[in-house]
A and B are shown apart, each in its own frame.
Chain A
Amino acid sequence: MIKRGWLARVRQTVGGVVALSSLQLILASPVLASEAHGVPAIEAYKVMWAIINFLFLLAILYKFAYNPILKMLDDRKNTIESSLRHAEEIRVDIERMKQEAQQNLMDSRKEAQEIVARAQQIGEETKAELIAKAKEEAANERARAVAEIESAKEKAVNELRDQAATLAILAAEKVLGKAITIEDHQKMVKDFVNEVGDRLC
């Protein structure tokens, strides 16, 4: 690397020397010529004017061109950057909102389905309950009716027994013509009733 650097440097320097010597020639010729033909050589005032003019122009352009235009370029760059960033933010927002809306829609659809399902379930339950209740009521009714019939039957049987006993006593009195003791009476009746009652029922 260093070697190549040297070479370039030497080449540059040789170029410089050539330029310098040619400058000497050119410098010398007008100076010589100026004595003969009046051609001007280096003129300090011209150089001074040129430098002053250039620096003045630099100052003017700095004020009217570079400063405002570079500022404007920066400003525009910032504006564009912030606009792009803003647009990106908005895009993300919209994306999020869209997702939210989608989610909401899905949620409400699910909810609606749930509501319908629940309503259906409640309907089913109510129906089953009502049926069960009706069945139970019917069963109760039947049982009560059966019980009533049973008790009526019992009552009738008892009444029948009492009347049969009385009839039997009356008949026995007629047959025997005499009264029997209460105890005998009772015993006889009972035996009779039992006998007849069993046959009756």
Chain B
Amino acid sequence: MQGVLFHIGPVPVYNITVTSWVIMAILALLFYFGTRNMKRIPSGIQNVAEAIVEGLLNFFSGVLGEKRARLYTPLLATFFLFILLCNYSGLVPGAGMVHGFQPPTSDWNVTGALAIVVFFATHYYGIKVHGIGYFKHFVTPFAAFLPLNLLEEVARPLSLTLRLFGNIFAEETILFFLLGMAPFLVPVAMMGLSVLLGAIQALVFTILATSYIGAATEEHESH
């Protein structure tokens, strides 16, 4: 099969999987060293780690409110950081050409997997907050909307999957062809655009996940 680097027993390990591991290692090392010896007055890499987490926390607080942002920041921030680095990994020379190095988000199995996590997390948190009453929203405003509501629940992860995959895959493909046709200077324009696109797509995915979880865990009683 294409994209398989090696096998662990019967399980194939793909290029994108190895790239994911590298990205995970980078994030893990950044935060490991950033939080290894935390001081009240931060310096050096601790500043970086804190700025990232605090920035994301503030961003989610704007959408979810401070209390819920505290609860859901770990999941949502992980989406953002992982997707962002996956997207940017396509800009590193050799991406897609070297064995074991392919941007994970340019494969829809990965974006689909992330969307599946969003899907289950949304309903998990919804049920956790509202209990069995969570399912009531499937039949609002009345029972006839059940099929439409269910369809919406299915459409969400699909749109998440395809939007991220489509953007990054297209970007990678264009970059690949540009490099093939005019390897000198010409791809720089596209790479500059990719920097923007990678951040925007990571942000869009995260904002949508945030709003899904936010809608599922909203306290209706407070209205």
- Residues of A near any B CB (own CB < 8 A): 2, 5-6, 9-10, 12-13, 15-17, 19-20, 22-23, 26, 38-40, 42-43, 45-51, 53-58, 60-62, 64-66, 68-70, 72-73, 75-76, 79
Cβ of B166 to closest chain A Cβ, rounded Å? 9
* Residues in chain B near residue A26, CB distance under 8 A: 162
Neighbouring A residues of B54 by C-beta, 8 Å: 69, 73
- B82: which of A54, A62, A76 is its contact (CB, 8 Å)? A54
- Not counting A61-B27, A64-B31, a sample of 9 additional A-B residue pairs whose C-beta atoms are within 8 angstroms of each other reads A9-B141, A19-B159, A47-B112, A50-B104, A50-B114, A60-B28, A62-B74, A64-B34, A65-B49
Q: Does B57 contact A (CB under 8 A)?
A: yes
B residues 16-30 in Cβ contact with A at 8 Å: 16-17, 20-21, 24, 27-28
| B145 at interface, CB cutoff 8 A | yes
- CB neighbours (8 Å) of A17 from chain B are 151, 155
Assembly CA distance A48 to B116 (angstroms):
11
Of A5, A13, A64, the residue contacting B141 (CB under 8 A) is A5
- A65 near B35 (CB under 8 angstroms)? yes
Nearest-CB residue, chain A, relative to B156: A16
Query: Does any Cβ of A come within 8 Å of B77's Cβ?
Result: yes
Q: Are B49 and A75 in contact (CB under 8 A)?
A: no
24 contacts between A and B (CB under 8 A): A2-B141, A6-B141, A9-B148, A9-B149, A12-B152, A13-B151, A17-B155, A19-B158, A19-B159, A20-B155, A46-B16, A46-B109, A47-B112, A49-B16, A50-B113, A50-B114, A53-B24, A58-B74, A58-B75, A61-B28, A70-B70, A72-B50, A73-B57, A79-B40
**Contact flag A66-B40 (CB < 8 Å), given A6-B141, A49-B14, A54-B113:** no
Give the interface size class of chain B: 35 or more
Q: Which residues of A contact B21 (CB under 8 A)?
A: 53
Q: How far is the CB of B147 from chain A (nearest CB, A)?
A: 9
Which of B's residues lie within 8 Å of A, judged by CB? 1-3, 11-14, 16-17, 20-21, 24, 27-28, 31-32, 34-35, 38, 40, 42, 49-50, 52-54, 57, 70, 73-75, 77-78, 81-82, 104, 107-110, 112-114, 116-117, 141, 145, 148-149, 151-152, 154-156, 158-159, 162
Closest 3 CB pairs of A and B: A16-B155, A50-B113, A46-B109
- Min CB–CB distance A71 → chain B (angstroms): 9
Residues of A within 8 A of B38 (CB): 68-69, 72
Chain B residues in 8 Å Cβ range of A16: 151-152, 154-156, 159
Task: Indicate which residue in B1, B73, B154, B159 contacts A40 across the interface (CB closer than 8 Å).
Answer: B1
B37 to chain A, nearest CB (A): 10
Write the nearest CB–CB distance from B94 to chain A, whole angstroms: 21
Contact A70 B53 (CB under 8 A): yes
